[in-house]
Amino acid sequence: GENVEQHPSTLSVQEGDSAVIKCTYSDSASNYFPWYKQELGKRPQLIIDIRSNVGEKKDQRIAVTLNKTAKHFSLHITETQPEDSAVYFCAATLLRDSNYQLIWGAGTKLIIKP
Amino acid sequence: DVKVTQSSRYLVKRTGEKVFLECVQDMDHENMFWYRQDPGLGLRLIYFSYDVKMKEKGDIPEGYSVSREKKERFSLILESASTNQTSMYLCASRGRVDEQYFGPGTRLTVT
């Protein structure tokens, strides 16, 4: 079936360095790719998303890039801070029986070392 | 501000019990979802609903059922709880735009 693979499962970076999380998807019809952040004990929340007609989107220290040909997209966090520590999930849309849902990656635990 | 609430944050049930998890959203969203979250497996879709009284199976519906009698409320039912259903359960809703809004989660332990 359709799936989304996310790597790495754990990422540890020094505070101030950049972090990159990568996802690949299998459904070529996917057209919406959100990233959610889940802090410890809290609910997942949308931090940035990108649509298939755009190659890159940036919001302050966070950016997402999309390569439709290769079917992969990445989250980039620059100048990492302690509050960036969380689990990050990528997702891609899947159209099923005229209703669309999200297929989720397994998550990346990002650890920011002081 | 969208609010999605779940009936319990923590729940402990015995094997074989019938369990009800309730989710309520206050934004008149058409779409609602139930996920379970397990370490290393991400978010797996159990059931979703795109309208009142409508439901669709997700990827792991076995052992679960759902009910949506009112637009704002989506219930997940474990007919006969088993230990392998010990997990974090997350409800979400989505309106006309794409963002899914999550509830705080229910950590269910089945003993």
What sign for the dihedral angle of Cα B98, B99, B103, B108? positive
Element (H, E) at A10: strand A10-14
Tell me the nearest-neighbour CA distance from A20 into chain B, angstroms. Answer: 18
Position B89 pLDDT exceeds 80: yes
> Residue A85 in contact with residue A110, Cβ under 8 Å?
yes
pLDDT at site B98: 81
Strand (E) or helix (H) holding A92: strand A86-96
Q: For chain B, give the mean pLDDT.
A: 94
Tokens of A31: 């057209």
SS3 content of chain A, % helix, strand, coil (to 5): 5, 60, 35
Residue A101: pLDDT band (50, 70, 90) is confident
- Find, in chain B, the residue whose alpha carbon is nearest to that of A102: B45
Give the one of B42, B48, B104 whose C-beta lies nearest to A104's C-beta. Answer: B42
pLDDT of residue B7: 92
Say if the Cβ atoms of B100 and A46 lie within 8 Å: yes
Cα A98 vs. chain centroid, distance in angstroms?
A: 25
Q: How far is CA A86 from CA A15, A44, A110, B38, B100, in A?
A: 14, 10, 5, 15, 18
- Say yes or no for a CB contact (<8 Å) between B48 and A105: no
Mean pLDDT of chain A: 94
pLDDT digits (tens, 9 = 90+) for A10-54: 999 999 999 999 999 998 889 999 999 999 999 999 999 999 888
**Interface list for chain B against chain A, based on CB atoms closer than 8 Å:** 33, 40-45, 48, 50, 56, 58-59, 90, 98-100, 102-105
